[in-house]
Amino acid sequence: MTTPATRLPANPADQDQLREIYLSGGEETRVRMGRLSEILSCPPASVTAAIKRLHEAGFVEYEPYQGALLTSAGAEAAVELVRHHRLIERFLVQTLGYDWDDVHEEADHLEHAISEKLEGKIADLLSNPTADPHGEPIPGADLQAVADESYALAEAEIGARLRVVRVHDRNPALLKYLAEIGLVPGARVRVLEHLPFEGPLVISLGGKSMPVGLPVAEAVFVNSGPG
């Protein structure tokens, strides 16, 4: 039996809003319009108009000056969009040879057009991957959220032996830098020192010590693992 297609907002811009509410924790806490405006680089008025449409369609609960909270229908649709986006990123890198710093924008465009049938074909072709090229978890076809216990490298304790799990995918220049130094998903690192006054971390990576600036350390997520 074919799984029925998840109901999604008709407007691609509204789909983007819904996905970002989810990624900003909108299942549990209200996400304010200013945050969405900043993430999506959209004028606040456009964000508010989109949220009102999503509210009227039953995807979010919206209160002026309080922000938006996902409904159950909104959470399901958002997870579907996240699945589309991350499967496409994995397909572009693994099958078409894209660099990992060159897929986010492509996936942003393609995720709105992908059908359930094509989604399934891509997943089968890739042997149902569980993570995108940046280590972000890909929700399964059942649209159950994937548990993520990783935390930012910037929060790690001195001496901790860690494994890189995922990295933020929005900044191509950052992704190129991470690839150059080898601070990528699967890499093993150890925190040697936190320099004061928002200074860099000093880490051991690939047998070498190196400083890592705070913006980089905040964009790399790790969990405990052998060094």
**Which residues have CB under 8 Å from 72's CB, separation 6+?**
none
Indicate if the alpha-carbon torsion angle 145, 38, 218, 65 is positive or negative: negative
Report the C-alpha gap between 160 and 202 in whole angstroms: 12
Report the C-alpha gap between 139 and 82 in whole angstroms: 7
**Which residues have CB under 8 Å from 11's CB, separation 6+?**
50, 53
Report the C-alpha gap between 81 and 147 in whole angstroms: 17
Q: How confident is the model at residue 3 (pLDDT cuts 50, 70, 90)?
A: low
Q: Could you read off the pLDDT of 157-210 as tens digits, one per residue?
A: 999 999 999 999 889 999 999 999 999 999 999 999 999 888 899 999 999 999
The helix (run of H) or strand (run of E) holding residue 172 is helix 172-181
The helix (run of H) or strand (run of E) holding residue 152 is strand 151-152
Domains within the chain, CATH numbers bracketed: 1-147 (1.10.10.10), 151-224 (2.30.30.90)
pLDDT surpasses 90 at 76: yes
Q: Is the pTM of this model over 0.85?
A: yes
Residue 134 backbone dihedrals phi, psi, to 5 degrees: -95, 5
Q: Which two tokens stand for residue 114?
A: 């992908």
